[in-house]
Amino acid sequence: MTTRREARRAAIDILYQADVTGEDPSVTLAAWREAGRALTPFTRDLVEGVVDHAAAIDLLLEEHAHGWTVARMATLDRTILRVAVEELRYRADVPDAVAISEAVESASELSADESKAFVNGILGRIAQA
């Protein structure tokens, strides 16, 4: 059984791959399925949600990332933030504290040292808005 943490990580991986390659995330998701990778409905929902709400998510990030544009953010940080904002704004089944905690943990494990504070700060401002 896959945990939600593992499902989030898979969503981050898929969205990161799509961002780096310039491929549509839906195509990347389909390629993962065709390659036989087991993807939970939660992973698919997160990827599809980020795709469906991309403009609104990026607008929120721009508004709350003081001094940063989405384009200037590190690709991995941007991806982690997009997944977290999808959970904060569009997933009633995920408490805000969990979405933020999971994103900070992902940034801590996967990205640069300063990413943890960067992700936490932006998501904290979005959650309070």
Spell out the domain ranges in the chain.
Answer: 4-128
DSSP 119: H
In CATH terms, the fold of domain 4-128 is N-utilizing Substance Protein B Homolog; Chain A (1.10.940)
- Phi–psi pair at 52, nearest 5 degrees: -65, -35
Which pLDDT band, with edges at 50, 70 and 90, does 60 fall under? very high
Instruction: Enumerate the H helices of the chain as residue ranges.
Output: 4-21, 25-34, 41-52, 54-64, 75-90, 96-110, 115-128
pTM of the model: 0.96
Q: Could you tell me which of 71, 51, 74 has the C-alpha nearest to residue 62? A: 71
Q: What confidence tens digit (pLDDT) does each residue in 79-103 have?
A: 999 999 999 999 999 999 999 999 9
* Spatial distance between the Cα atoms of 126 and 5, rounded to a whole number of angstroms: 21
